[in-house]
Amino acid sequence: MSKMKFIIIGLALTTAVFAQSRNADFKIHDRGNLWETMKDDGTIGAPSPTNRFEYYPSMDWPGGPDKMNKDDQRSYSVGMGIWIGGKKFDGNLFFTENGPFSYVDAGTFDAIIKTENFLESSSYNPLEAEQVITAKWKTTENISIQRISRQWSFPLLNNFIICEYIITNQNVAAVNDVYIGFPNLIRPSYQDFVVHNGWGDDFNRTDELVSYDSTRNMMFAWDDTPNFSLPNDVGNYYATAGELRTTGYAGFSFLYTDAASDNRQQPANIFWAQLLNNEKYFTIQSSSKQSLYEILNGTNKSLQANTGDHLTPFMLMSAGPYNIPAGASIKIVTAEAVNGIPLDKALLGTSSQSLLPKGLDSLKSTMDRAINLYNNNYRVTSVPPPSPAIEIYALPSNKTIALAWAPIENNWVNPISGKSNFKEYRIYRSDRSFIGPYTMIRRIDPKKNTDKTRYYDSENNKWVYEDQTISLGAGYFYGVTSLDSAGHESWLTNRNETAITATRSAAENALNVKVFPNPFKEVSGFPTSGTENYIIFSNLPAVCTIRIYTTSGELVRKLEHDNVNSGEEVWDQLTDARQRTSPGIYFYTVESSVGNAQGTLIIIK
């Protein structure tokens, strides 16, 4: 008997390990302004929500780019999941947990599929979303789930994602008293983690607020005001960048639920709690099926937090109860949304804090549009012309950056109105990051002879705009949108993900080597994300060696420059040992076959 018991325990442990060790496949919604990672195991958010060094979109707003640096992410969530609990035909309780923590039920998972229906495609269908991701899986309790998530890029429709769930009973008998819950770790302050190296992980740094909007069946959370009573101005304010880090409200709503078996009002349960010291109650790894089922169906609200409590929140909405016959299905439609004040306001710092309450109004309007779109069977009432596919070229000899694109104005016919009412192109630029903020720097009207003469290349059949208002060595992001005569404008779906820089051509000798910024100050560095510590050596020969020394003569960094097309080299202020340099005075030398140079540079921080 003891040997058999050992085998059974071993199998149970193997199952538990499998449930947590499987690497879920995922696809990313990256078409609109809200980006999200959809996984094949039913969870939503960064592939490893417990790994603080996974920089995938997780309710990311403004979203992107695909390859994120730590400071790129603006995640309003740690992760989301789905719970299903009920009673089998014999009365025994069942419960399956798919997130939002690391544990995932060890079911079976189909390949996740991403379908694109972009506006610029000749086969564009206005009856479907621009981006659709489909995931299918079956739990260990023979409940199959299909989740179809939808996203659009059009302004006013690009700050939400709609998820349609079909839950089917694959058992040979009915399951009863079934509740389907969606646990969320919506946490606007999570993005503060990347700038404060810790957030929501102790009671002194817990500043999330949660509430519920019954009109929209929406739970939402937001970041409270900065807390200057703690060292280093922690809170919503990011002092180093001089900006508000969290500028929006994040919400999760039920757009539709099938009627419950007892016809009670849905959601059946609305619950939020303090996660700190309570996480053990919200996962089957440390709790029981019975306890989790009681939290799921709302019979246990002992941990319910009050409106106005500062939280590291655990949030749950559930639908039910459902009595589901064998082979029958139920349908639930959810939406997630983020909206708030624009990024350019965030960069004004604490002076914009008073504007944050307006973000709740924008979130409510965003969710209303999601509700209306679902009620209209995903049929959009209008679409803009598509954004063109652009090519971006750095022209060092001209000290410019050029954008080029094939004309779309002559062939564009609005698929809804049937009109050919293209009006103009709009060119946007950011000198800070992929997410902006962006400034419109040029309008081009194809019908104007002056614009056509200046910007249209008839030989190559392309519109070409040359940006002459740039700074050499600085990095830029561009996007080109299209506008019709009704005022419908497309979205920045054609932005370059990495900054483009116009550099000088290689010099003939080393007589005029320049270093900038010099002195380097933290506030005078390049503002582009990822280039904040760059010091540029300019007017270099095509082949040369740069050495940087301390005042005591210690070699700090050796840079080999070998580029006939560029007279510039970047020093990121790291030593050869990849250590950050200290403030102070440094000497540099440039050695080449066409001459040498030397000089002094100063770093002030």
Q: What is the pLDDT of residues 375-411, one digit of tens each?
A: 999 999 999 999 999 999 887 667 789 999 999 999 9
Please give the helix or strand (H or E) that residue 178 lies within, else none.
Answer: strand 175-186
* Confidence class for position 21, pLDDT limits 50, 70, 90: low
Mean per-residue pLDDT for 87-91?
A: 93
Number of domains in the chain: 3
* CA-closest candidate to residue 251, choices 350, 327, 143, 160: 160
Within-domain flag for 13: no
Average pLDDT of the segment spanning 324-332: 98
- Of 375, 402, 435, the last residue of a domain is 375
Q: Is 12 within a domain? A: no
Span 488-520, pLDDT tens digits: 999 999 999 988 888 777 889 999 898 888 888
Answer positive or negative: Cα dihedral of 86, 92, 93, 94: negative
Give the other-Cβ count within 10 Å of 264's Cβ. 12
pLDDT band, very low/low/confident/very high, at 3 (cuts 50, 70, 90): very low
208 with 351, same domain: the answer is yes
Question: What three-state secondary structure class fits 230?
Answer: coil
- pLDDT of residue 523 exceeding 50, the answer is yes
Q: Which of 216-220, 498-502, 525-529 has the lowest mean pLDDT?
A: 525-529
What Rg do the C-alpha atoms of the chain give, in angstroms?
28
Do 52 and 102 lie in a common domain? yes
User: How far is Cα of residue 355 from the mean position of the Cα atoms in its chain?
Assistant: 22
Residues 395, 480, single domain; the answer is yes
What is the spatial distance between Cα 340 and Cα 388, in angstroms, rounded to a whole number? 28
Q: What per-residue confidence (pLDDT) applies to 605?
A: 72
Where is the domain boundary, 324, 352, 375?
375
Q: Are residues 467 and 530 in the same domain?
A: no
Query: CA distances (Å), 53 to each of 50, 73, 79, 358, 456, in order?
Result: 9, 11, 14, 32, 46
Is the separation of the CB atoms in 581 and 573 below 8 Å?
A: yes
Report DSSP state, residue 356.
Answer: T
Lowest mean pLDDT among 55-69, 98-112, 288-302: 55-69
Interatomic CA distance for residues 289 and 287, integer angstroms = 7
In this structure, are 217 and 322 located in the same domain?
yes
Q: Please tell me whether residues 35 and 128 are part of one structural domain.
A: yes
CB 464 within 8 A of CB 440: no
**Which residues are CB-contacts of 248 (< 8 A; sequence separation ≥ 6)?**
61, 76, 188, 222, 338, 339, 340, 341, 359, 362, 363
Q: How many CA atoms lie within 13 A of 222 on its CB side?
A: 24
Q: Is residue 270 part of a domain?
A: yes
Query: What are the CA-CA distances from residue 191 to residues 136, 188, 195, 229 (Å)?
Result: 30, 7, 8, 20
For residue 5, is it within any domain?
no
Task: Determine, yes or no, domain membership for 17.
Answer: no
Percent of the chain topping pLDDT 90: 69
Are 217 and 318 members of one domain?
Answer: yes
- Domain of 223 in residue numbering reads as 22-375
3-state secondary structure 100-135: CCCCECCCEECCCEEEECCCCCCCCCCCCCCEEEEE
Whole-model pTM? 0.85
